Structure 1
Amino acid sequence: MRQATLHQLKVFEAVARHNSFTRAAEELFLTQPTVSMQVKQLSKAVGLPLFEQVGKRLYLTDAGKELYTTCREIFDRLAQFEIAIADMKGLKQGSLRLAVVTTAKYVIPRLLGPFCQRYPGIDVSLMVTNHEYVIESLVNNRHDLYILSQPPEDLDVSIHPFLENPLVVIAWRDHPLAHEKNIPLKRLAEEPFIMREPGSGTRKAVQKLFDENGISLKVKLDLGSNETIKQAIAGGLGISVLSVHTLALEGVNSSLTILDVEGFPIQRSWYVIYPSGKQLSIISQTFFDYLLNEGKTVAEETAFQGIFSQASKSTDESE
């Protein structure tokens, strides 16, 4: 084991956690052959195989299980060491590790800008992924803070809302309903819907609204990307419900518009989350306080302001 490197242990831990060389490679931004080679070299250093292939499934051997447990202990100790060092350095330098759901990519980078200007010595690692992987990261305590719009209900975590995240109905700007007011939900249900994949927070919120009103939701197309959904809407394939933040970068000549529909916007929030009892480093605590105290103000000073105004106007007019 003296020949094993920390990099090899990180690669092995990712493969063991995902039970997949491919998914580990995607997470670590490495090629699959590189991941395979690192695991092979580590297995050689251990002197025993770490994985066994049964059909298409990958399983840890007994030696692999022991090493995986050891890796988790090592990485937990290193994380504690990083916290201690960051506290010693204060806010002059250090790192901040964030895991955020995909839609938050329209929000968090804009909030990070002023924060990083205020503390230029801080290096930020931002993992943008789907809800499932953020929860997995949260369970394994791999990041400092986590940004979600749908907090977990079955985990012992500290949950704090910091910014509104209303869901709005989006259509092509020349859609027949574009200029209608207070569109009934039943009328909207006649339109083909383009939605995020099953399990996404947005889709669950929309499904709940339709179920409460006894109306069937007609989903024509499932897509895993907000940008792809916006392109599909612009192409006339249907309408969708997305976070208003996804429109932040759309200009005045956007091909998309927000429909005025009863029951919308669906009011939601962004939450900053971390495991209960977790000791936040001084950097993590400072960013946490920044989100709670300044997040909404900073967001309103960016491109979100006009979008929020449009969504709010729709709500006011429908009332």
Structure 2
Amino acid sequence: MELQQLRYLVAVAETGNFTRAAERCFVTQPSLSQQIINLETELGHKLFHRLGRRAVPTETGEMFIGRARRILFEVETAAKEIQDSPSQERRITVGATPSIMPYWLPPLILEATGRFPGLVINTLENFHAPLLNAVVDGEVDLALISMPVDDHRVAAEVLFREPLLLVVAEGHPLASKPEVTAHDLADETFVLLGHSSSLASQIQRFCGDHDFEPRSGHHCAQIRTVKSLVAVGAGISILPKSARTSVDPVSLVYRKLSGRAPYREIALVRHLQRYQSHGANQFITLLRENVRALDAGKRETGGKAGK
């Protein structure tokens, strides 16, 4: 039994198809299929039902695939631990959602370049659920996502809480209204990130808590697109305070909602059983320092959001 056979096995289980599994593993489909047959012969049990183009694990297959995942995880973790020497290049992959990545990761990478010359930070931008899966599968070392995080295999450290602000175009009636409440938004058209976005889910919950369903006119993949559409009056949106930048369209107006104003909690997520490398520790140290500096700045200014 070889580790490569276990990798092929897991790939077939995750893709549900021998051809797609072969593409993922960069081998030919006949070669991958033969390795699975060899593994089944060695074990004396079928691991997959071949249903046309679909490959569905048998009961024995389900049990063995779980073991295979744990074996591969342990091998990769052991290799990473051995290779992780302060005298060598330290490479980590950090994931973040589209509403976090452009505002937090670039300055952190820039600072890390000066402080930790051997640290190489790769990034992966994706929505909440895929990033959580990437942490569990070992595709990323760490991820910055919003709470809640419901998976017993990971640890989630809440770093900070930030308000979610109403964003409208300069000429919109809500831009100059003395006080804006959630109920003022009930008849508005929203510009939102895609359905997979945790920010979109938070907005849905906030509106639901105030007994209305947000009327969505636009679904976007990037915060920049949301801002551009709001700026031309295509609708309103709700964005994190950290998404407000000096390069925003000049016609954008940010308003703090009164009453039960929405907010989000950003967490650092890592696998509970994954070896935490020296490079990962350096990044976490840097991240925590930046969060503390942000908190100190809020205290100095009285924590006011402003319009």
Query: 1:95 matched to which residue of 2?
Result: 91
Q: 1:251 aligns with which of 211, 229, 247?
A: 247
Q: 2:178 aligns with which of 172, 177, 181?
A: 181
Counterpart AA for 1:101: T
SS in 1 for 2:173: coil
Query: 1:46 matched to which residue of 2?
Result: 35
Contact map agreement 2:12 2:18 (CA 8 A) in 1: yes
Contact map agreement 2:256 2:305 (CA 8 A) in 1: no
Counterpart AA for 1:236: G
Query: What displacement does 1:207 show?
Result: 2.7
Counterpart AA for 1:294: N
Query: What displacement does 1:284 show?
Result: 1.4
Correspondences of 1:96-111 after superposition (within 5 Å): 96-106=92-102, 107-111=104-108
Query: 2:272 matched to which residue of 1?
Result: 276
Identity of aligned residues (%): 20
- Cα offsets for 1:193-242 (capped at 9, x unmatched): 12233353223322333333333432333334333322322342211112
Query: 1:317 matched to which residue of 2?
Result: none
Contact map agreement 1:169 1:264 (CA 8 A) in 2: no
SS in 2 for 1:177: helix
Q: 2:147 aligns with which of 139, 147, 150?
A: 150
Q: 1:129 aligns with which of 116, 123, 126?
A: 126
Query: 1:28 matched to which residue of 2?
Result: none
Query: 2:136 matched to which residue of 1?
Result: 139
CA change 1:274–1:52 in 2 (3 A) is: same
Correspondences of 1:1-319 after superposition (within 5 Å): 13=10, 16-19=13-16, 35=24, 38-40=27-29, 42-43=31-32, 46=35, 48=37, 54=51, 57=54, 59=56, 70=68, 73-86=71-84, 89-90=85-86, 92-106=88-102, 107-198=104-195, 200-248=197-245, 250-251=246-247, 253-263=249-259, 266-297=262-293, 312-314=305-307
Counterpart AA for 1:267: Y
Counterpart AA for 1:280: Q
Contact map agreement 2:167 2:236 (CA 8 A) in 1: yes
Work out the CA distance in 2 between the residues paired with 1:147 and 1:115.
17
Q: Please, which moves more after superposition, 239-248 or 292-301?
A: 292-301
Contact map agreement 2:156 2:270 (CA 8 A) in 1: yes
Work out the CA distance in 2 between the residues paired with 1:176 and 1:274.
44
- Equivalenced residue count is 295
CA change 1:104–1:22 in 2 (3 A) is: farther
Work out the CA distance in 1 between the residues paired with 2:81 and 2:195.
37
Counterpart AA for 2:86: G
SS in 2 for 1:237: coil
- Cα offsets for 1:50-100 (capped at 9, x unmatched): 9887467554689987688546623531232212321xx226522112222
Normalised by the length of structure 1, the TM-score is 0.73
Contact map agreement 1:149 1:165 (CA 8 A) in 2: no
- Cα offsets for 1:282-318 (capped at 9, x unmatched): 22122222222333537999xxx9xx9997113xxxx
Normalised by the length of structure 2, the TM-score is 0.76
Query: What displacement does 1:149 show?
Result: 1.0
Q: Please, which moves more after superposition, 175-184 or 199-208?
A: 199-208
Contact map agreement 1:191 1:218 (CA 8 A) in 2: yes
What value does the CA root-mean-square deviation take over the aligned residues?
4.0
Structure 1: stretches of 5+ with no match in the other structure: 25-32, 315-319
Q: Please, which moves more after superposition, 186-195 or 255-264?
A: 255-264
Work out the CA distance in 1 between the residues paired with 2:241 and 2:10.
37
Work out the CA distance in 1 between the residues paired with 2:7 and 2:31.
11
